[in-house]
Amino acid sequence: MTLIDGRAIAAAITAEVTETAAKLRESGTVPTLAVLVPTDDDATAWYVRSIERAAKKVDIDCRVVKLENPTGEDVTRELDKLSADPSVHGIICQTPLPEGVTLDHVGAHIDPAKDVDGANPVSLGRLAAGLPTYAPATAAAVLEILKREQVALSGAQVAVVGRSTVVGKPAALLLLGENATVTVCHSRTKDLAAVTKTADVLVVAVGRAHFVGADHVKPGAVVIDVGTNPTPEGGLVGDVDQAAVEEIAGSITPVPGGVGPVTTSLLLRHTVTAAQA
């Protein structure tokens, strides 16, 4: 079994982004990403620090806007302001959002041209229609890993477990765009293991530690583990029971060091692309 090195893939993307960012600066544009943080959440705080660190390395300006106990209206007003600000090229609104506020609602206030984490329903619609757009960075990371690992997708059986708007659904659309035969599974799927066992590529994005085990995996399958579940000991585990699957899968993305770092690097790539446009 091969462990897929997400950090190495992220480093390769980061090197490309560094070059593009330098060219932008030479031509007088300071590539700028705005990160809106509407709630206090440990996982989000970690992701925001990681974005800041990564942006600094590639010389992208990162503007973190922290709101204290905002209403939905406070969030949309801030997103309207950032969308209208010509010095901002990319905008990400962190989840979770305040109680009663949905990403669909606030996402509609991110200019699609700056929507580097694909949160505007317009961006998702464009993705569904096969038009150029920014896919959510995590979904894009799934595809980027499969491409860099040269996994054949055309005609392949792919199972996506999870149907969220930020990962499962857009990942399924991106995979369809590569001519994969995509099955989307979720909490109501009957006999999940029977479906996932037929998959050459298994993408798991349910947000539950060790949800997928040995009896879910086809021998030799490529397993992409999107989960980042905090453990009581302060560590991080995926949605896949890696130890149980090790003997069966052909290759797997570890957690940490798999999809996560690639997600951050793609958010930055989307930002320089937006700055070039």
Ligand X SMILES: Nc1nc(=O)c2c([nH]1)NC[C@@H]1CN(c3ccc(C(=O)N[C@@H](CCC(=O)O)C(=O)O)cc3)C=[N+]21
Feature table: binding site for NADP(+): 162-164, 228
Q: What's the closest the beta carbon of residue 191 comes to ligand X, in angstroms?
A: 30
CB atoms within 10 A of CB 33: 28
Residue 108 binding ligand X, by CB under 6 A:
no
Comparison of 20 and 138: residue with beta carbon closer to ligand X: 138
Q: What angle do CA 13, 256, 186 make, to 5 degrees?
A: 95
Per CB under 6 A, does 134 bind ligand X? no
End-to-end CA distance of the chain: 41
Q: Using an 8 Å Cβ cutoff, are 54 and 271 in contact?
A: no
- The whole-angstrom separation of Cα 30 and Cα 24 is 7
Q: Is 44 in the site for ligand X (CB under 6 A)?
A: yes
Cβ pair 120, 113 in contact under 8 A? no
Q: Which is nearer to ligand X, 74 or 181 (CB)?
A: 74
Distance of CA 16 to the CA centre of its chain: 19
Give the nearest distance from C-beta 263 to ligand X in angstroms.
5
Any contact of residue 256 with ligand X (CB under 6 A)?
yes
120 sits near ligand X (criterion: CB under 6 A): no
3-state helix, strand, coil in the chain (%, to 5): 45, 15, 40
- Is residue 207 a contact point for ligand X (CB under 6 A)? no
- Backbone φ and ψ for 267, nearest 5 degrees, come out as -60, -40
By C-beta, is 250 or 256 nearer to ligand X? 256
Among 76, 123, 228, 271, binds ligand X (CB under 6 A): 228
Per CB under 6 A, which region of 17-25, 43-51, 174-182, 204-212 contacts ligand X?
43-51
- Residues forming contacts to ligand X in the complex (CB under 6 A) are 43-44, 46-47, 50, 92-95, 117, 137-138, 228, 236, 255-257, 260-261, 263-264
